[in-house]
Amino acid sequence: MNGTVLIIGMGLIGGSLALCIKKEHPHAKIIGHDVNPKELRLARSLGVIDEMSLTLQSAAEQADLIIISTPVFQTEKIISQFESFSLKETVLITDTGSTKERIMKRSESLAGNGIQFIGGHPMAGSHKSGVAAAKEILFENAFYMLTPGVGATEENVKRLQYWLEGTHAKFLIVEPKEHDELTGIISHFPHIVAASLVHQAKISSGGHPYLRRLAAGGFRDITRIASSNPTMWKDITMQNRLVLLSLMEEWKAEMDEVASLIEMNDPQKIFDYFNEAKKFRDDLPMLEKGAIPSFYDLFVDVPDYPGVISEVTGYLAEEKISLTNIRIMETREDIYGVLVISFQTLEDRERAIQCLRKQTNYELFLG
């Protein structure tokens, strides 16, 4: 497809969308805009975009497709700016925000001028951030939720999907309210729970000097999402506050139920509680990409001698297998002194397993 695409926000998501569009629509011109000139210049030098624009209005007025890939409050401000621009009548505008109801409400002002706004939320991410981490495969097989705005036609929804075809994502069309409820349950609320667990551990660490070292194992794994960008999660929490407050009331009731079970001390009821949770979790799809980025961890039970880490990483480097993180876990339930290697994709982890089984006799565990 020919045309001009403006991507506002040269981060991981904006940069990855630019790469996907460039590959699928090589004749399109991609302009990048970002409040951070350094990130914008990096995007240009890496070939993620074709042109840089320091002036939002001039770039927006020549665009056939505008993708706003900024924090959600900033997205609202940008939509307001569009109201005074002379945008093309045929322009499509979309965003990548994690909340939708407020943004879609804000976009109604554009509909009065005949501008088509279709909300978007690619449910994919990475352990890394910034345009340097952008990659074409980021959205592959991920869910990409679309929330068409007032006046958006089915034809233009399909046109947007065609622009985004290179993502190889699975598009879902939902109402903004449903979007925020779904993401609240399986993404936003878990981040709050993870942060609260870390806060509780921090408070307790004052009286337990060994707590930090012991938390390096399973506790660190289940609270990993608490390390996410605090500014982004402050904005998401404020935007989706009503959904989150409702979920917190339900969570309080759930915790009251757990407290009651523990107080009764009934072994069968306590077993049933954990067993029901296990069954539901075990039935969740393993190979689907969800709202929270997956972590493909491999636990390697290595012998304790100098150079063992460089030996393992050397084998993986020979096979050109990319790692996202590597660390030694001192304590983990039933496993002691293991090397934890994280991969970006399931395929990379499978290749690593084959490589290490061929080169070593170390015991491997899946995370």
Q: How many domains does the chain have?
A: 3
290 domain-assigned: no
Q: Going by C-beta distance under 8 Å and a sequence separation of 6 or more, which residues neighbour residue 289? A: 123, 124, 141, 142, 143
17 and 158 in one domain? yes
191 and 149 in one domain? no
155 and 23 in one domain? yes
What is the model's pTM? Answer: 0.77
| Sign for the pseudo-dihedral over CA of 182, 183, 184, 187 | positive
303 and 157 in one domain? no
pLDDT at 332: 43
48 and 14 in one domain? yes
pLDDT at 141: 83
- Of the residues 147, 174, 201, the one at which a domain ends: 174
312 and 264 in one domain? no
Say how far apart CA 349 and CA 253 lie, in whole Å. Answer: 39
333 domain-assigned: yes
271 and 362 in one domain? no
- Of the residues 134, 156, 174, the one at which a domain ends: 174
287 domain-assigned: no
pLDDT at 335: 43
CATH number of domain containing 10: 3.40.50.720
Say how far apart CA 102 and CA 239 lie, in whole Å. Answer: 7
190 domain-assigned: yes
Q: Are strands 116-122 and 92-95 parallel, antiparallel or unpaired?
A: parallel
pLDDT at 342: 83
The order of strands in the sheet holding 363-366 is 325-332, 335-343, 296-301, 363-366
- Of the residues 282, 308, 328, the one at which a domain ends: 282
27 and 112 in one domain? yes
CATH number of domain containing 271: 1.10.3660.10
CATH number of domain containing 306: 3.30.70.260
pLDDT at 291: 55
Say how far apart CA 237 and CA 296 lie, in whole Å. Answer: 27
Q: Mapped to the 3 state alphabet, what secondary structure does the chain carry?
A: CCCEEEEECCCHHHHHHHHHHHHHCCCCEEEEECCCHHHHHHHHHCCCCCEECCCHHHHHCCCCEEEECCCHHHHHHHHHHHCCCCCCCCCEEEECCCCCHHHHHHHHHHHCCCCEEEEEEECCCCCCCCHHHCCHHHHCCEEEEEEECCCCCHHHHHHHHHHCHHHCCEEEECCHHHHHHHHHHHHHHHHHHHHHHHHHHHHHHCCCCCHHHHCCCHHHHHCHHHHCCHHHHHHHHHHCHHHHHHHHHHHHHHHHHHHHHHHHCCHHHHHHHHHHHHHHHHCCCCCCECCCCCCEEEEEECCCCCCHHHHHHHHHHHCCCCCCEEEEEEEECCEEEEEEEEECCHHHHHHHHHHHHHHCCCEEEEC
21 and 116 in one domain? yes
pLDDT at 19: 96
Give the pLDDT of the chain (367 residues) as one tens digit per residue. Answer: 789 999 999 999 999 999 999 999 999 999 999 999 999 999 999 999 999 998 999 999 999 999 999 999 999 999 999 999 999 999 999 999 999 999 999 999 898 788 999 999 998 876 667 898 888 988 988 899 999 988 889 999 999 999 999 999 999 999 999 999 999 998 999 999 999 999 999 999 888 988 888 777 678 778 888 888 888 889 999 999 999 999 999 999 999 999 999 999 999 999 999 999 999 988 876 555 555 666 678 888 877 677 888 888 899 998 888 887 787 765 444 444 578 888 877 788 889 999 999 888 888 887 5
338 domain-assigned: yes
pLDDT at 320: 87
pLDDT at 289: 59
276 and 302 in one domain? no
Range of the domain at 195: 179-282
289 domain-assigned: no
199 and 64 in one domain? no
39 and 155 in one domain? yes
* CB-CB contact of 103 with 75 (8 Å): yes
